[in-house]
Amino acid sequence: MNIRKVAVSGAGQMGSGIAQVFAAHGFSTVIYDVVPLQLDKSRALTERLLTRAVDKGKSTAEERAATLRNLTWTPDLSVISEADLVIEAIVERLDTKQQAWKQVDELCRPTAIFASNTSSLPITQLAASISHPERFIGMHFMNPVPVMQLVEVIRGLLTSDDTHQIVMETAQALGKTPVTVNDAPGFISNRVLLPLINEAIFCLQEGIATKEDIDMVMKLGMNHPMGPLALADFIGLDTCLYILEVLQRDLGEDKYRPAMLLRKMVQGGLLGKKVGRGFYDYAPGLVAAR
């Protein structure tokens, strides 16, 4: 099966990036969100990023125009009925995603492939929301999607070989490197990364060092391109918290318990770069999709 038409559900920081990359590689792409304002912000952000790429000589004005021609932002979910591949990139909540997938299942053609960009939720459980779980898979892009090379491809218990192969080929057609992982909480990326971020937050909470110094230790000492607290801001503190809750619950290990400071910051709406404030403050011009 050839994937030509792609629908992305969720126009936040990940959905915007995923839609941009598909459109830039010639796929006819629609992006949908329940919040119309998110669609406006996603469009403005995408246009800005594409302009910046032209200004820096990384792409041409024609490529920018072609990408935008391939992209449609819409508040109308029914447009996804045309899609060969639906990618869901909505908030990291199991019940919200299950509900959204049920709606998508009712609208889509019988051959469509369904991929979730979830960071941690069980692919097999999400697949149970649709009538053909063999066509369901995890397609976990990294942030920022236009820049990052990896796509973790997660096979659920019932994912078919055909679905897996088509998604691997599609990731390669985007210029990405797909790596196959079996369905387990947090997959590889977040099972390894989130305990590191959580431990950095514990260090801050316990007053062991300032946020700047914690990040500096990991940058200069471990050669990480970003410190863990800056990275948490970049991912979104709400997303970090949800992932840790999934790891703790589904692996049954207390070592994954989220730091109280993380929970408090999420309760206080300090969600990181996407809202302009997390561990660090961000100038309005730097704020991503909100």
Ligand X SMILES: NC(=O)c1ccc[n+]([C@@H]2O[C@H](COP(=O)([O-])OP(=O)(O)OC[C@H]3O[C@@H](n4cnc5c(N)ncnc54)[C@H](O)[C@@H]3O)[C@@H](O)[C@H]2O)c1
- Name the catalytic one among 16, 117, 119, 120: 119
Provide the minimum distance between the beta carbon of 230 and ligand X in the complex, in angstroms, as a whole number: 12
Nearest residue (beta carbon) to ligand X: 12
Provide the minimum distance between the beta carbon of 11 and ligand X in the complex, in angstroms, as a whole number: 5
Q: How far apart are the first and last CA of the chain?
A: 36
Task: Name which of 93, 98, 91, 89 is nearest 246 in CA terms.
Answer: 93
* Catalytic residue check, 119: yes
Give the C-alpha separation, 146 to 46, whole Å.
Answer: 11
- Name the catalytic one among 88, 116, 140, 198: 140
* Catalytic residue check, 190: yes
Closer to ligand X at the Cβ: 136 or 141?
141
Task: Name which of 94, 139, 144 is nearest 114 in CA terms.
Answer: 139
* Catalytic residue check, 132: no
Looking up tokens 């909540």 gives: 93
Q: Footprint of ligand X on this chain (CB under 6 A)?
A: 9-15, 33-35, 38, 89-92, 96, 100, 117-119, 140-141, 143, 235-236, 239, 274, 289
Provide the minimum distance between the beta carbon of 84 and ligand X in the complex, in angstroms, as a whole number: 19
Closer to ligand X at the Cβ: 6 or 289?
289
Closer to ligand X at the Cβ: 96 or 205?
96
* Catalytic residue check, 152: yes
Burial of 101 from C-beta contacts in 10 A (0-12 / 13-18 / 19+):
buried
175 within 8 A of 188, measured Cβ to Cβ: no
94 within 8 A of 116, measured Cβ to Cβ: no
DSSP letter (8 states) at residue 73: E
Provide the minimum distance between the beta carbon of 207 and ligand X in the complex, in angstroms, as a whole number: 28
Active site residues: 119, 140, 152, 190
